[in-house]
Structure 1
Amino acid sequence: MATDRILLEFTLGKFDELFALIGGVDDETANRRPDLEGANSLYGIGTHVLGMMRYWSCTTNRGVEVERDREGEFSASGSVAELLERAAVERERFETDVRSVDDHAVPANKPAGRIEPWLVSCHGVLMHVFEEVCQHLGHAEVTRDLLASGR
């Protein structure tokens, strides 16, 4: 099974940055939303990233169904310590998922109705995960900065 080590390391690096950012705030800050319509909390962003990564790496690429409440991810709340513990577990699961598939294989469980070009291979799906982790890291950085400014 071929695993793109560089892609895996980049993804895990951005994942680690995201959860270090969340780990750098207290519980109240992590659960607060900026005063903007539709804004998400840092806790919600982190919870969403955990669900997103597991969905694409396990359910889509491996065909192993994992329960996910995508809408609930954004409204989740709790302690930073608990979220960081979950992140450590999910990080290991993600790495196991990635190592258990051939990058060139077709995903085992493509989502119905999705026709994105990256769905042609497990590697393409992992590129999408990397894209999403980077996007949500930026989302979290802006959220943290808004919260720090009192918004």
Structure 2
Amino acid sequence: MNSLAPNEQILVRLLLEKFDQIFETVQDIPEDSVNGCLPMHGSNSPVQILLHCCGMMRRWSSTVNLGVEIPRDRDAEFSTTMDKSDALKVASEARTAFVADLARTQLQQAPAVLPTGRKVEYWMATCEGVLLHVYEEFCQHLGHLEITRDYLKLTTD
């Protein structure tokens, strides 16, 4: 990744730092709470948020940017329960694969395959734009995760 321009290196670093914050937040939640949710329909557990981030990042970094399809069951990301150690193992493997995707990505090139069934957005013009979208999603889901963590902590103390 040293061959990246400085602005590209910054993006990669921000992506990995934000994913690591999500990972570490889940890691710090007690085992008996990682599958808990907010008391409202449609809320997601910390495990579900983490697994969704894994699926989302690989879809954009590999399937879209590189044209290498990564199988994904988006609905399952939002309905699964899993031991924390298993979820963290999945996340660690996804991070390793994401780093490999980033190393192979020409950030100023157009993505290899635009997603089907979705409106083409302005940020889909380059692989860098796609990764900026991944960063946006990480930030959003980290906020969801922190709110969920704080609620679960309040209800178990």
TM-score bucket of the superposed structures, by smaller chain: over 0.9
Aligned match of 1:145:
150
Question: How far apart in 2 are the matches of 1:34 and 1:143?
Answer: 6
Partner AA of 1:121 in structure 2: T
Aligned match of 1:8:
12
**CA-atom RMSD, angstroms?**
1.4
User: Are 1:54 and 2:58 matched, yes or no?
Assistant: yes
Partner AA of 1:143 in structure 2: T
Task: Give the superposition deviation at 1:114.
Answer: 2.4
Larger RCO: Structure 1 or Structure 2 (Cα < 8 Å, ≥ 6 residues apart)?
Answer: 1
4+ residue segments displaced more than 4 Å: none
Normalised to the residue count of structure 1, the TM-score between the two structures is 0.95
Task: Give the superposition deviation at 1:121.
Answer: 0.4
2:40 to 16, 25, 36: 36
Instruction: Give the 5 Å matches for 1:106-117.
Output: 106-112=110-116, 113-117=118-122
The answer to whether the 8 Å contact 1:44/1:77 transfers is yes
Aligned match of 1:87:
91
Task: Give the superposition deviation at 1:149.
Answer: 2.0
Question: How far apart in 1 are the matches of 2:105 and 2:38?
Answer: 39
Deviations 1:20-55 (A, max 9, x none): 110111222000112112111000000100000000
> What percentage of residue pairs aligned between the two structures are identical?
39
Q: Mind listing any 5+ residue stretches in structure 2 that lack a counterpart? A: none
Task: Give the superposition deviation at 1:2.
Answer: 4.1
1:27 to 26, 31, 35: 31
Aligned length: 151
Question: How far apart in 1 are the matches of 2:120 and 2:64?
Answer: 13
Question: How far apart in 2 are the matches of 1:20 and 1:2?
Answer: 27
The answer to whether the 8 Å contact 1:27/1:78 transfers is no
Aligned match of 1:127:
132
Deviations 1:54-108 (A, max 9, x none): 0000000000011101111011111111111111111111111011011111100
The answer to whether the 8 Å contact 1:27/1:80 transfers is yes
Question: How far apart in 2 are the matches of 1:66 and 1:33?
Answer: 28
Normalised to the residue count of structure 2, the TM-score between the two structures is 0.91
Instruction: Give the 5 Å matches for 1:64-75.
Output: 64-75=68-79
